[in-house]
């Protein structure tokens, strides 16, 4: 199931590249976009996790640098039957976390200093269990590749904007994009929206599944529910700097890192927090 979802995602992102390339430069532009898409497919599979970690200035830590954090991840990985992931910290006061990697054998989890500061041990276990659930459910490859492609599509859309401004809508073979400028403007508007729609489709369903499995891994749904309440409040007060610089990766995080932005509600990549907390509370009552 995960392999087919990854294939569909890569095919969809490649199609978007071709559309933008056609708008930018006709047949030649489409062929250039195809070459870029092939190269990006290869790069995204092998290196997208490293790229995302660099985007957010995450640095790896061990038991010496972060003993409690590392020990919690180690214990939860053992409970879930997963290999020990690499453990990272991001220097940011906004409380948040994400997981990345192409498979459980090459996974990493990252938490901000803000998260480590405001959560108690049980709440931290709930959050890390949620991230390990993404690893176990094999969401992380799809999510990380989406972040890489969405960022690249936005870059192509910006190129379309410049092509529209300078009248570069026609290629040497005489093919165009319905008047050059109009096609460029349409791509400037539609390509980022299309990328965001793909992010939303990937993200919303996977968050509920990771909440449920994470609650099972840590052993108490209320630990995660309490953490989500704190993280939601904290992220709204302190939007994450690196997420605003790289919004295409916002769907990776456990809570929306763009909550302080006026556009966050329009293109929300996360389910409503009240619904997530309510479902976890229901799990606790049934236990």
3-state secondary structure of 267: coil
- Give the span between the Cα atoms of 91 and 52, in whole angstroms: 15
- Give the span between the Cα atoms of 36 and 32, in whole angstroms: 6
Report yes or no: 104 and 50 within 8 Å, Cβ to Cβ: no
Per annotation, catalytic residue among 131, 207, 245, 275: 131
Helix ranges restricted to H, 81-120: 113-118
- Give the span between the Cα atoms of 217 and 13, in whole angstroms: 33
Query: 178: how many CB neighbours lie within 10 A of its CB?
Result: 11
Residue 2 main-chain phi, psi, to 5 deg: -65, -40
Report yes or no: 77 and 128 within 8 Å, Cβ to Cβ: no
175 is a catalytic site residue: no
Residue 50 CB burial class (10 angstroms; 0-12, 13-18, ≥19): middle
- Give the span between the Cα atoms of 182 and 194, in whole angstroms: 18
107-112 and 97-101 beta bridge pairing = antiparallel
Which residues have a catalytic role annotated? Answer: 131
């Amino acid at each position: 199931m995960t392999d087919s979802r990854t294939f569909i995602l890569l095919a969809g992102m490649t199609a978007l590249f071709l559309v933008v390339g056609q708008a930018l430069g006709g047949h030649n532009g489409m062929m250039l976009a195809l070459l870029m898409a092939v190269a990006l497919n290869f790069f995204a599979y092998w290196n997208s996790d490293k790229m995302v970690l660099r985007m957010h200035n995450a640095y790896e830590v061990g038991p010496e640098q972060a003993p409690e954090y590392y020990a919690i991840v180690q214990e939860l990985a053992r409970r879930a039957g997963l290999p020990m992931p690499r453990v990272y910290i991001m220097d940011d006061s906004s409380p948040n976390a994400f997981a990345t990697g192409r498979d459980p054998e090459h996974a990493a989890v990252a938490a901000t200093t803000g998260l480590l500061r405001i959560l108690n041990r049980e709440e931290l276990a709930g959050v890390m269990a949620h991230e390990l659930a993404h690893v176990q459910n094999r969401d992380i490859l799809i999510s990380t590749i989406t972040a890489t492609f969405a960022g690249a599509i936005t870059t192509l859309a910006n190129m379309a904007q410049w092509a529209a401004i300078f009248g570069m809508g026609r290629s040497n073979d005489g093919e165009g994009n319905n008047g050059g400028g109009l096609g460029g403007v349409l791509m400037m508007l539609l390509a980022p929206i299309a990328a965001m729609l793909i992010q939303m489709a990937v993200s919303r369903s996977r968050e509920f599944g990771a909440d449920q499995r994470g609650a099972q891994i840590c052993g108490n749904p209320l630990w995660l529910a309490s953490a989500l309440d704190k993280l939601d409040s904290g992220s709204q007060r302190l939007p994450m700097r690196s997420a605003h610089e790289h919004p295409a990766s916002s769907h990776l995080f456990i809570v929306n890192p763009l909550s302080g932005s006026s556009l966050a509600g329009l293109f929300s990549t996360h389910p409503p927090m009240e619904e997530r907390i309510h479902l976890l509370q229901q799990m606790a009552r049934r236990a």
